[in-house]
Amino acid sequence: MDDLDRSRALLFDGEAERYDRTRPGYPEELVDAVLGPAPQGLRVLDVACGTGIAARAMARRGAEVLGVDLSPNMAAIARRHGIPVEVARFETWDDAGRRFDRITCGQAWHWLDRTASAARCAGLLDGDGRLCIFWSSGQHPDDLHEALVEVYARTLPADVLANTSYGAARGDDLAANHALVAAELRGAGFTAVDVAEFTWTRRYTRDLWLDQVRSHSDHIALPPDLRERLLAEVGATIDGHGGGFEMPHAATLLTATRGG
Q: Where are the domains of the chain?
A: 3-140+170-203+247-257
pLDDT tens figures, 77-86: 999 999 999 9
Domain 3-140+170-203+247-257: CATH superfamily is: Vaccinia Virus protein VP39 (3.40.50.150)
At 54, is the pLDDT very low, low, confident or very high (cuts 50, 70, 90)?
Answer: very high
| CB distance 17 to 75 below 8 Å | no
CA 129 to chain centroid, in Å, comes to 22
> For the whole prediction, is pTM greater than 0.85?
yes
pLDDT recorded at residue 153: 93
- Mean pLDDT taken over the chain: 90
136 vs 59: which has the higher pLDDT: 59
Give the mean pLDDT of 134-154.
92
SS3 track for 105-146? EECCHHHCCHHHHHHHHHHHEEEEEEEEEEEEEECCCHHHHH
pLDDT digits (tens, 9 = 90+) for 30-47: 999 999 999 999 999 999
Angle at 11 between CA 16 and CA 13, to 5 degrees: 30
CA distance 100 to 106: 17
Greatest extent of the chain over all pairs of C-alpha atoms, in Å? 56
Half-sphere exposure (CA, 13 Å, Cβ side) for 177?
14
